[in-house]
Structure 1
Amino acid sequence: MAEPKQGVHVNSDIDLHCHSTASDGHFPAAELIDRAAERGIRTLAITDHDTVDGFRQGREAAAAKGVRLISGIELSTVWGGVSVHMVGLNFDPDSDAMRGAEQHQNQVRAERGKLIAERVSKRLRHDIPFADIVDLAGGRAEQVGRPHFARYMVERQLVPSMAVAFSKYLGAGKVGDVKTGWPTLVEAARWVRAGGGIPVLAHAHMYKMTRTKLRACISDFREAGGIGLEVAYGQMDNGQRNQMADLCREFHLYGSCGSDYHGPNRYGLELGVMPAFPADVRPVWSLWRPQA
């Protein structure tokens, strides 16, 4: 991804997309909350991949720091043969629907991790023990993701960088891009709605789709109960933000925002850093709090 242009990004006091060590983030949830408070973030959603554990682990710290913590998750899904991510916000984490979603995703993620290890090992002609990858994921097979494989490959000097690991072995269309078992985007949106939450299509500007195909994807998402679209996202430029804002208005969706912060990175982006939220888009947070 191209490095963001200077002057495009702002510090937002609302961040509805970030990650903790409950998935592939750098900081435990409590430290993420501390960082949010230090940076003036008043509303935060920890949206770990396919688990609500980050939210659960951060509730006590959020209450102590005066940060409003919104329940969140980032669900891995498939639409039209393309891997698509969907953020769920402000749902009941103890609902049958969301407990079932976590259980399903955890099982799929563990099985998928073993398949990625097998396929990448064969392509590299170098054994990648799945147990070593699980160790990098904090001992939790259900939270193994492609970044853990990339980290392993860099640490073992099998590739020079995380970027190369993805461009050659793990990225879209590569041998480690395993989609087996993920729910459809429509199914995932229905899970979140059944849990009383708000389904948000994540970083849609990043999917390698034609405009026609992306519009078809958003249309299906909207018909399945989708409510939001990320219009201010950490590494977006203003052109991408404006494109997402146009789609938001066209499909009568609410806009969401988030840094997608995982921890320190080479772009220097931080928790709460993203393009300014478009003034003419309805914010998703207006659905759970009165307008100021």
Structure 2
Amino acid sequence: MPLPKYDLHCHTTASDGALAPTELVRRAAGVGVEVLAITDHDTVGGLDEAFDSAAAEGVRLLTGVELTASWGRQVVHLVGLGFDWKAAALQDYLRRLDALRFERAQRIAQKLQQRNLPDLLPAVLERSAGGQVGRPHFAAALVAANVCESEQQAFKRYLGPGKIGDVKMPWPTMKEALELLHQTGGVSVLAHPTKYRLTFTRLRTLLSEFADAGGVAVEVSYSGVKPEHQRELQKVARQLKLRLSAGSDFHRPEQVWVELGRFMPLASDEGHVLELLL
């Protein structure tokens, strides 16, 4: 049977998204999404509100999170789906990530001040509104302070890979993150593989080690993926017996090229991760 319209990767104001959970669920319902996973960075803080809204809107909401982890020196993101979001082990783990994110924010602010920029930390924390703080909050603060003309320029000058605001942190390893997700009954997905700027040889190694460590699925469709890369990802997924996943990675309405429930169709739904979750 065909799968319902779904989106298994999106963000709210609980991390670096622009819409509150209620607003995001309402938007998803408005574009016909039937199954939704809100996957905020390193937090499940928006799920209480989202579940209330999903019940009212007739959307089936899956528990979701996007965990920051390390694979050697490479930072990777793991989407967790269908886990026990109130498990003590998960809450302890997320508190650890919260502390790391706050420490990183302090260090980014200090490094930017070394470039004779204003102290942006108060504005960044205000923008995060108690949610997880990330580099997009710094990008918005740099624009508001008239340091940069756009958030894209902020990343290009100060926050992107190799720039002064690209602060490295001792994130939990990919293996630790996978163990945590599986311990709490979740399904693990390697998020947006081609966004790590790896050669496909390195990417195949990452996917192989992800599978060997118990990883379940790989995102093969998301904003920005090229058709030829999607085909290659599906091919590697089949070889490694990984399931398929997809999501918009929606953050904010003004990014009109990204919309909830909108991503490149998969060649086939066979082996889809939703088969384990519905």
The TM-score bracket by the shorter chain reads: over 0.9
Determine if contact 2:16/2:251 at 8 Å carries over to the other structure. Answer: yes
Structure 2-normalised TM-score? 0.94
Q: For residues 196-235 of structure 1, what are the alpha-carbon distances to aligned partners after superposition, in whole Å with 9 as ceiling and x for unaligned?
A: 1011000001111122211221122112211010011122
Alignment of 1:1-292 (within 5 A): 13-122=5-114, 124-138=115-129, 140=130, 143-279=132-268, 281-289=270-278
How many Å separate the matches in 1 of 2:145 and 2:37? 34
Q: 1:199 to 1:113 in 2, by over 3 A?
A: same
Displacement of 1:56 in angstroms is 2.3
| Cross-structure match for 1:5 | none
Equivalent residues of 1:50, 1:106 under 8 A apart: yes
Please list the CA deviations of residues 57-83 of structure 1 after superposition, one character each: whole Å capped at 9, or x if unmatched: 200110111100000001111112112
Q: Which amino acid aligns with 1:117?
A: A
Deviant stretches of 4+, over 3 Å: none
Compute the displacement of 1:136 (Å): 1.0
Q: Which amino acid aligns with 1:103?
A: R
What is the CA RMSD across the aligned residues, in angstroms? 1.5
Q: Residue type matched to 1:125 in 2?
A: N
Q: Provide the secondary structure at the position in 1 that maps to 2:168.
A: coil
For residue 120 of structure 1, report the CA deviation from its aligned partner.
2.0
Q: How far is the alpha carbon of 1:189 from its aligned partner?
A: 1.1
Structure 1 vs Structure 2: percent identity of aligned residues?
Answer: 40
Number of the residue aligned with 1:6? none
Task: Tell me by how many angstroms 1:102 deviates.
Answer: 1.1
- Residue 19 of structure 1: CA displacement? 0.4
Take 1:175 and 1:48, find their aligned partners in 2: how far apart are those partners?
A: 25
Check conservation: 2:218, 2:243, Cα contact below 8 A: yes
Task: Name the CA distance, whole Å, in 2 between partners of 1:67 and 1:48.
Answer: 18
1: CA distance, partners of 2:267 / 2:47: 27
The letter of the residue matching 2:26 is D
Amino acid paired to 1:212: T
Post-superposition Cα deviations, 1:112-154, rounded to whole Å, max 9, x if no partner, equal: 11011111221x311224122100111x2x6110000000111
CA distance in 1, matches of 2:43, 2:5: 24
State the distance in 1 between where 2:119 and 2:32 align: 42
Name the count of aligned residue pairs: 275
Contact 2:80/2:187 (8 A) holds in 1 = yes
Q: 83-92 or 233-242: which moved more?
A: 233-242
Alpha-carbon shift at residue 266 of structure 1 (Å): 4.1
